[in-house]
Amino acid sequence: MDMLQAVREAGSIASAAKSLKLSYRHVWGELKRWEQALGQPLILWEKGQAARLSEFADKLLWAERQAQARLAPQISALHAELEKTFAVAFDADSHLLTVYASHDDALVQLQQQAAQQALHLDIRFCGSVDAIRALNEGRCTVAGFHAPAQPAAESLIARTYRPLLKTGQHKLIGFAARQQGLMVKAGNPLHIKALADLCRPGVRMVNRSLGTGTRLLLDHWLSENGFKPESIQGYQQEEPSHAAVAAQIASGQADVGLGIASAAQSHGLDFIPLQQEHYWLVCLKSALHTPAMLELTQVLQSKIWQTRLNQVTGYQALPECGHVQSLKKMLPWWP
């Protein structure tokens, strides 16, 4: 796969070999060996033109990238499980927090930052709604969810989260502001600019799974603007993460999807911002003063972390990052 990607980018076997720090003979031989093994051509040559991938090689490369994107949450969970096991076994002074959270690139960065201070975040990515349910059922200590900063009290978003979050029982911890928007192919060939463009004939969308905050945000926008889901081609086509949605668009399987700017950037897509939202961490009030939670708030409040967060595309540290907030004050969804 690395060789195919290198040939695609470089336009020749010689340049691909140089970028991979391999010999021309080795790369040529490997490509020929794989062509025989797969029974399909991988590289096409035309006189006077650069080498290019065959249609089969293109499909093969994108299938591998799509598999990587779809498996990323599971791989992350496995990594966290292994890290937790070794931390508990070998580091008596370490702290462990189990976190169920909506898929988020900044949380992966936070996991790495916290590990440097002997705080191990066992992150399990799932939908925002599912994350809060896991918290309420005792399956985790912290949940991560996202919502517009000030949704109306009777909006779909407020009506969905309101039964799950209780004043006096839950406590919010500031984390980040991030941009949600439309991810489209580089150059935006279909000239997609707004939500209404999803309903245009010939525009193929890829959606997030039911129970995710991004799917909830889309359904909220559709409801607010009087659009029907069945008017959108691909509304039922679902992917488990922002990265998987971006991979579908980059591979040509879809034209547009809702997601975050960092996912669009990592797959070479254009990004059309639509909404700034807040990503919150929430815990039970009873867990607030445990050693692990206190360590987490210290990491979040540190200048090192907030500087790192501000360097992630589409993210900004909230002024209340790491500070405990009143649920009723920050999310005024209750009468």
Question: Within this chain, do residues 49 and 97 fall inside the same structural domain, yes or no?
Answer: no
> Is residue 87 situated within a structural domain?
no
Question: Within this chain, do residues 13 and 102 fall inside the same structural domain, yes or no?
Answer: no
What is the structure's pLDDT at 334? 65
What is the structure's pLDDT at 44? 86
Phi and psi torsions of 128, nearest 5°: -55, -45
- Residues β-bridged to residue 119: 95
> Is residue 71 situated within a structural domain?
no
- For residues 135 and 142, the answer to whether their CB atoms sit within 8 Å is yes
When divided into structural domains, the chain yields a total of: 2
What is the structure's pLDDT at 92? 60
What is the structure's pLDDT at 152? 80
> Is residue 81 situated within a structural domain?
no
What is the structure's pLDDT at 115? 86
> Is residue 28 situated within a structural domain?
yes
In which residue ranges of the chain is pLDDT below 50? none
Cα–Cα distance measured from residue 172 to residue 31, given in angstroms and rounded to the nearest whole number: 54
Question: Within this chain, do residues 43 and 99 fall inside the same structural domain, yes or no?
Answer: no
> Is residue 59 situated within a structural domain?
no
> Is residue 85 situated within a structural domain?
no
Question: Within this chain, do residues 43 and 150 fall inside the same structural domain, yes or no?
Answer: no
Cα angle 296, 312, 101; round to 5: 45
Question: Within this chain, do residues 159 and 16 fall inside the same structural domain, yes or no?
Answer: no
What is the structure's pLDDT at 217? 92
- Residues β-bridged to residue 182: 258, 272
Question: Within this chain, do residues 24 and 103 fall inside the same structural domain, yes or no?
Answer: no
What is the structure's pLDDT at 103? 86
**Which pair of structure tokens corresponds to residue 116?**
């440097």
> Is residue 66 situated within a structural domain?
no
Question: Within this chain, do residues 149 and 290 fall inside the same structural domain, yes or no?
Answer: yes
Question: Within this chain, do residues 170 and 272 fall inside the same structural domain, yes or no?
Answer: yes
- Would the pTM of this model clear 0.85, i.e. be above it? no
Question: Within this chain, do residues 156 and 226 fall inside the same structural domain, yes or no?
Answer: yes
Structural domain that includes position 307: 92-330
**321: nearest Cα among 305, 13, 331, 128:** 305
> Is residue 209 situated within a structural domain?
yes
What is the structure's pLDDT at 263? 93
- For residues 151 and 237, the answer to whether their CB atoms sit within 8 Å is no
- For residues 249 and 255, the answer to whether their CB atoms sit within 8 Å is yes
Question: Within this chain, do residues 36 and 114 fall inside the same structural domain, yes or no?
Answer: no
What is the structure's pLDDT at 131? 95
Residue-wise burial string across 10-35, b where 16 or more C-beta atoms lie within 10 A, e elsewhere: bebbebbbeebeeeeeebbeebeebb
